[in-house]
Amino acid sequence: MKDVYILGIESSCDETSASIVRNGTDEIATVVLSQIDIHTNFGGVVPEIASRHHLKNITMVLEECLNKANMTMKDIDAIAVTYGPGLIGSLLVGLEAAKTLAFVHNKPLIPVHHIAGHIYANNLIKTMEYPLIALVVSGGHTDLVYMEDEFKFQHIGGTLDDAVGECYDKVARVIGVGYPGGPVIDQMATLGKHTYNLPLPLDDNSYNFSFSGLKSAVINLVHNEEQRGNIIDKEDLATSFQEVVVDIITKKTLKALKEFKISRLILAGGVAANKGLREKLSTVCVENNIDCSYPPIKYCTDNAAMIATAGYFLYKQGKFSNLELNAKSSVELK
Ligand code: KG4
Ligand code: ZN
């Protein structure tokens, strides 16, 4: 069969990225331009600033990706782009670039759901086999997804309020360790001890999560200690917080695997880069004879290689869109 080269474009949050992937498995070239340094000053992503930077950089990122791959648009079979969910102004930049390229070069346009992208990042490491359960943990999502087969998603549970990555970022802000908070807290957690007592959030029988109570508990703890004139041990707090987060995610994920009788787990999304979560889930999966896999860190956080990979499977199914495709800030995974 002829090789299929998909050009992926991702701009849903604060990373402008383009990538070329062959046959949904081989990454040919990827460029990720992160705006983290710009948003750090504000303690989080400022949507208006993010879209302006996407606009400034998208052409350069696309050119650099093609140059890196030593390819031209003639070599590309289709263009896959994130159409949602995400920040609307940011999504629109990638989407308009994709539509323009599809129109000018007469290529099929493939709309990709951002979370499908995160899940399919796993295919860049090893061919995904079904059925499986995907744990999607990022700045915008905390979802358990059952996949009976390729591109068949059944949402079985998710957060009722804050996403887990969002909770990491807010806790990091409260203890003053910068943005994005996830990687910093993850690192600090390896250095501290579990000394602070925090509640296990939404410890019930459902597959849902809730992190806003835990976030408030951390904020209250920090303020109370400050008022008493006590100094918070940030590393101990990071360890205590991370253990609670990892415990509840592991507990519900294992319950889903057992109840759905599934022996494959894949992790996806920025928080899947978390060392504590990877270690705990790997251990628990070994104990329960479950095959657990997760992408390397560069494929966990936002990137266009995952979009090109998911796009390949939609290409095979002929799921193309016309040029009227619009961006959606919130859209169900299907
Ligand atoms: O998937 P992603 O790049 O963007 C979204 O689609 O949201 O995820 C970004 C989130 C941020 O909240 C960041 O703090 C978190 O992933 N994150 C981590 C780690 N690395 C990134 N959270 C915990 N531990 C990490 N090592
Ligand atoms: Zn993401």
Q: Where are the domains of the chain?
A: 5-120+299-316, 127-294
CA distance 277 to 170: 18
Mean pLDDT of 245-258: 98
| 192 Cβ closer than 6 Å to some ligand 1 atom | no
Ligand 1: residue whose CA is nearest its atom 16: 270
Topology classification of domain 127-294? Nucleotidyltransferase; domain 5 (3.30.420)
Mean pLDDT of 116-129: 98
Q: What pLDDT does residue 48 have?
A: 87
| 273 Cβ closer than 6 Å to some ligand 1 atom | yes
Which residue in 94, 48, 101, 37 sits closest to 72, CA to CA? 101
Q: What is the pLDDT of residues 256-307, one digit of tens each?
A: 999 999 999 999 999 999 999 999 999 999 999 999 999 999 999 999 999 9
Which range, of 11-20, 43-52, 91-100, averages the lowest pLDDT?
43-52
Asked if the domains at 5-120+299-316 and 127-294 fall in one CATH topology, the answer is yes
Ligand 1: residue whose CA is nearest its atom 5: 139
For residues 268 and 136, the answer to whether their CB atoms sit within 8 Å is yes
- Closest ligand 1 atom to residue 302 Cα is 3
| 180 Cβ closer than 6 Å to some ligand 1 atom | yes
| 271 Cβ closer than 6 Å to some ligand 1 atom | yes
Q: What pLDDT does residue 145 have?
A: 98
**What pTM, to 2 d.p., does this model score?**
0.95
Class assignment of domain 5-120+299-316? alpha beta
Mean pLDDT of 304-322: 98
Q: What pLDDT does residue 42 have?
A: 79
Mean pLDDT of the chain, nearest integer: 96
What is the whole-number distance in angstroms between the Cα of residue 302 and the centre of ligand 2?
5
Q: Which residues on adjacent β-strands are paired with residue 265?
A: 133, 292
